[in-house]
Amino acid sequence: MKTVTSLSELRAERAQLPGPVGFIPTMGYLHAGHISLVQQARNECASVVVSIFINPTQFGPNEDLANYPRDLPHDLVLLEEAGVDLVWMPTPEIMYPPGFQTWISVEHLTQGLEGGVRPGHFRGVTTVVTKLFHAVQPQKAYFGQKDAQQAAVIQRMVKDLDFPIEIMICPTRREPDGLAMSSRNSYLNPAERQAAPVLFRALSAAKGAYEAGERSAEALRQIVGAVLHTEPLAKLQYVSCADLDTLEEQESVQGKVLLSLAVYLGRTRLIDNIILG
């Protein structure tokens, strides 16, 4: 496994890799969710490239950029074990040199959900992913379903801009108690960690109601809220029952819908989702 920092090193090493190349962009502090993306890429591609870059432009001014967890030595061990060929770890100065002023915006899909409470977040995501795609030039790129809106936004961008890249969305990996794996789970204190499975319990309760015939989106949102309310440490930020393609809030559930939520546990913000239909 090779590791590179500069764009010119990345391009030189990338040019040596046999295709098809699979690519997994990450912000590091890797967990089994990331590694499952690597494994799928390993199964489907001749070469696997991973980037580790905590992208400052997708964090709001009051978000957790400075405190975002880091453990590069451990990340590199995991990636080596998983059979990655090339790891790119650019610096913020490499990605955003002085004078940088070009941005990608996906308009409608970014209005609600995460985009509604994290203004500018998706502009940072789409811009950095475009830069990473141009640098790595993969045939396939892998993202997790846990960040459902991100997955939808990236797929839309790739389609709209005719990127010659296939986007693979991989299932959310969960801890045994149902908590969706996330680098941000490391922020939780023991009590918050114990409370955290309430997100998946809430989604699962709504799924149970859906499977029993409930088709009112508001009723499903209410069920999520009610289960969340049973956990005193959890504070619901939003719950959404939206069309899976347009991400528009629904009144009645028809076709595939994305049931998603954002929750504060103390100062830690967690998101999760399931697809119904």
Could you list the active site residues?
34
CA distance 258 to 261: 10
> DSSP assignment of 212-238, as one string?
TT--BHHHHHHHHHHHHHT-TTEEEEE
- Binding piece for a second copy, criterion CB under 8 A, among 56-64, 95-103, 202-210, 253-261: 95-103
- Per the CB < 8 A criterion, the answer to whether 88 and 49 are in contact is yes
Least CB distance to a second copy at residue 6 (A): 12
Least CB distance to a second copy at residue 70 (A): 24
Q: In terms of CB distance, is 111 or 189 closer to a second copy?
A: 111
* Identified binder of a second copy from the candidate list 100, 119, 186, 191, rule CB under 8 A: 100
Interaction between residue 1 and a second copy (CB under 8 A)? no
Least CB distance to a second copy at residue 107 (A): 4
Least CB distance to a second copy at residue 153 (A): 9
Q: 251, exposed or middle or buried, with CB in 10 Å at 0-12, 13-18, 19+?
A: exposed
Interaction between residue 121 and a second copy (CB under 8 A)? no
Interaction between residue 108 and a second copy (CB under 8 A)? yes
- Binding piece for a second copy, criterion CB under 8 A, among 32-40, 122-130, 178-186, 255-263: 122-130
Number of residues that bind a second copy (CB under 8 A): 27
Interaction between residue 160 and a second copy (CB under 8 A)? yes
- Tokens read off for 113: 């959900």
CA distance 82 to 205: 35
* Identified binder of a second copy from the candidate list 16, 105, 186, 230, rule CB under 8 A: 105
Amino acid (one-letter) located at 219: A
User: In b/e form, how buried is each residue of 92-121, taking b as 16+ CB within 10 angstroms?
Assistant: eebbbeeeeeeebebeebbebbbbeebebb
- Per the CB < 8 A criterion, the answer to whether 17 and 86 are in contact is yes
Tally of residues, the chain: 277
* Identified binder of a second copy from the candidate list 146, 156, 173, 193, rule CB under 8 A: 156
Task: Name the site residues for a second copy (rule: CB under 8 A).
Answer: 7, 11, 99-109, 126-127, 130-131, 134-135, 137, 156-157, 160-164
